[in-house]
Amino acid sequence: MIENMFKNNKIADQFNRYNDVLEQVLGYDKIFSFFSGKSIDTILDYGCGPGKVSLRLAQQTNAHILAVDESQKMINLAKTERSHKNVVYGVVENDSLKDVQENTIGGAIACYVFINNHSESRIQHIMAEIYRVLQPGSCFIILDTNPNTTGIPFSTFQNGVTSKHYGYGESRVETLHVSQGENLILHDFHWPNRMYENNLKKAGFLNIQVTYPVLSDFTTAQLKEIKKRYHYNGWTNEKTKAPFIMYQAIK
Ligand SMILES: C[S@@+](CC[C@H](N)C(=O)[O-])C[C@H]1O[C@@H](n2cnc3c(N)ncnc32)[C@H](O)[C@@H]1O
C-alpha cells in the first residue's frame, strides 16, 4: 500500500496553512448550503484532514460531524485548532468504519480524498463503507480536482503538467500555492469521471449527478460579496474553467 503523504508532519502543516478560498467558493460552500436547513443528525466527513471543512460544517448546520482521517497528524491538528462541541475527530484504519453501525449516518462528504488514493480497489472499499453507514435516501457528496482540467493553472493551484495527457489512475503532481514563494507539492492520481461513476454504482448509489462549478456561475453582486467575505480577488482561469468536480449520489 502506498503511504499516505499526509502522515508527514511538514506536508500536514503546509496543507493546514494553505488558503482554500477557491475550494470554499467553488466547492465547500455548495456542500454547506446543501446540508444547512436540513434536519440531519450526523454527517460523516471522510478524510477530514485538519478539520477545516468539518468545523465550518458544524458552524453552518445543526448536525453532529463525525470526522475521520487515516493521518494521526491531521487528526491532532484538527483537535488542537478546530475543536467544536458538535465535531468528533478520529483516526480511521484500513478504510474501515468498524465502529459505525449501518444505516445510521444522515449524509457524507469526501473532499479531495480519492485523488490521493492510487488503488481503485481501496476507493471502491471506502465508497462501499460509506454506503453501508448511510441511512437510505441520504446523500454522499464527493469533491475532487476536475480530471478534465488537469494541466490548467488556477489562481491557487495547478494539477498536472500543461498539455500532458494522463492515463487512468496515473500519478500526477499537484502544486498548491501556500504563501508567496512557498509551494506545497502533492502527489496524487488522475481519475477520470468513469472511475467515480462506476464505483459509486458498484457500491449501490443511485441518482449520481455531477457538476462543474465556475466563477461565472455567480452574478456580479454575488462576486462583490465573495470578494468582501474572503478578501480575495485574484481569480484567473476559474472564471470560466472548473477547477473542481462535484458528485452527488443517493443511497
Ligand atoms: C487533501 S486532504 C483534504 C482534507 C479535507 N477533506 C479538506 O478538504 O480540507 C486529503 C486528506 O485525505 C486523507 N486520506 C487520504 N486517503 C485516505 C484514506 N484512504 N482513508 C482516510 N483518509 C484518507 C489524507 O490523510 C488527508 O488528510
Q: Whose CA is nearest to atom 2 of ligand 1?
A: 49
Question: Could you tell me if the CB of 42 is within 6 A of ligand 1?
Answer: no
> What ligand 1 atom has the least distance to the C-alpha of 123?
19
pLDDT score recorded for residue 233? 85
pTM above 0.75, yes or no: yes
Q: Where are the domains of the chain?
A: 5-146+192-223+235-250
CATH number belonging to the domain at 5-146+192-223+235-250, selected among 3.30.413.10, 3.30.40.10, 1.10.10.60, 3.40.50.150: 3.40.50.150
Question: Could you tell me if the CB of 22 is within 6 A of ligand 1?
Answer: no
What does the pLDDT look like over 66-125, one tens digit per residue?
A: 999 999 999 999 999 999 999 999 999 999 999 999 999 999 999 999 999 999 999 999
At residue 18, does pLDDT exceed 90?
Answer: no
In angstroms, what is the span from residue 114 Cα to ligand 1's centroid?
8
At residue 168, does pLDDT exceed 60?
Answer: yes
DSSP state of 71: -
Grid coordinates belonging to 69:
482521517
pLDDT score recorded for residue 238? 95
> Are the beta carbons of 238 and 154 closer than 8 angstroms?
yes
In angstroms, what is the span from residue 174 Cα to ligand 1's centroid?
15
